[in-house]
A and B are shown apart, each in its own frame.
Chain A
Amino acid sequence: MEVFLQTLVSGILKGGLYSLIGIGMTLIMGVMGIINLAHGQLMMVAMYVTFVCFQYLGIDPYISLLVSMPALFFLGMAIQKFTLNPLMEVESILPENQVLMTVGIGMVLTEIARFIFTSDYKSVNTKYSNATFFIGEISFSVALTIAFFIAILFTVLMFWFLVKTDLGRSIRATAQDKDAALLMGINSKRITTMTFGIGSALVAAAGTLLMPIYYLFPDIGGPFTRKAFVITILGGLGSTVGAIFGGITLGLAEAFGATYIGMAFDDLVGLLIFILVLLFLPGGFKRLTKI
Chain B
Amino acid sequence: MRKVPALILLAVLLAFPLVVRDHYYQHLMILVLMWVVIGSGWNIIAGYTGQVSFGDAAFFGTGAYTAGLFASKLGISPWWGMVFGGVTAMAVAFPFGWITFRLRGAYFALATLALNEVMRHVATIWESLTDGMVGILIIQTFVSKVPYYYIALGLAVVSVLSIQIIMGSRWGYYFLSIREDQDAAESLGVDTHYYKMVSLNVAAFLTGMAGALFMNYMGFIDPEVVFSLHDISIMAILVGIVGGVGTIYGPVVGAFVMVAVHEFFRTGFFGFFKGLAAITGSDAINVFARYVSQAHVLGFGILVVLVILLLPNGIVGDWNKIVSKLSPFKK
Q: Taking beta carbons and an 8 Å cutoff, which residues of A are in contact with B?
A: 29, 33-35, 83, 86-87, 90-97, 99-101, 103-105, 107-108, 110-112, 114-115, 222, 226, 229-230, 233, 237, 264-265, 267-268, 271-272, 274-275, 278-279, 282
Partner of A264, one of B99, B124, B294: B124
**6 A-B contact pairs sorted by A residue (CB < 8 Å):** A94-B245, A95-B105, A105-B305, A107-B297, A107-B298, A110-B297
How distant is the Cα of A233 from the Cα of B234 in the complex, in angstroms?
21
**Contact A104–B304 (Cβ < 8 Å):** yes
Q: Taking beta carbons and an 8 Å cutoff, which residues of B are in contact with A?
A: 46-47, 50, 52, 99-100, 102-103, 105-107, 109-111, 113-114, 117-118, 121-122, 124-125, 179, 229-230, 234, 237-238, 241, 245-246, 291, 294-295, 297-298, 300-302, 304-305, 308-309, 312-313, 317
CB of A82, distance to nearest CB on chain B (Å): 9
Q: Majority SS of interface residues in chain B?
A: helix
**Contact A94–B308 (Cβ < 8 Å):** no
From B122, B297, B312, name the one whose CB has the most chain A CB atoms within 10 angstroms: B312
Question: Besides the contacts A103-B237, A108-B301, A111-B298, what 13 more A-B pairs have beta carbons closer than 8 Å?
Answer: A101-B305, A101-B309, A103-B304, A104-B305, A105-B305, A112-B298, A226-B117, A265-B125, A267-B121, A268-B125, A271-B117, A274-B114, A278-B107
**Contact A108–B309 (Cβ < 8 Å):** no
**Contact A271–B114 (Cβ < 8 Å):** yes
Q: For residue B309, which residue of chain A has the nearest CB?
A: A86
How distant is the Cα of A278 from the Cα of B106 in the complex, in angstroms?
12
Q: Which residues of B sit under 8 angstroms from A83, Cβ to Cβ?
A: 305, 309
Q: Which residues of B sit under 8 angstroms from A90, Cβ to Cβ?
A: 312
Q: Which residues of A sit under 8 angstroms from B317, Cβ to Cβ?
A: 93
How distant is the Cα of A103 from the Cα of B52 in the complex, in angstroms?
14
CB of B250, distance to nearest CB on chain A (Å): 11
How distant is the Cα of A183 from the Cα of B106 in the complex, in angstroms?
26
**Contact B305–A108 (Cβ < 8 Å):** yes
Partner of A92, one of B109, B302, B312: B312
**Contact A33–B106 (Cβ < 8 Å):** yes
Partner of B301, one of A87, A94, A111: A111
**Contact A96–B107 (Cβ < 8 Å):** no
How distant is the Cα of A99 from the Cα of B81 in the complex, in angstroms?
34
**Contact A104–B50 (Cβ < 8 Å):** no
Q: Which residues of B sit under 8 angstroms from A279, Cβ to Cβ?
A: 99
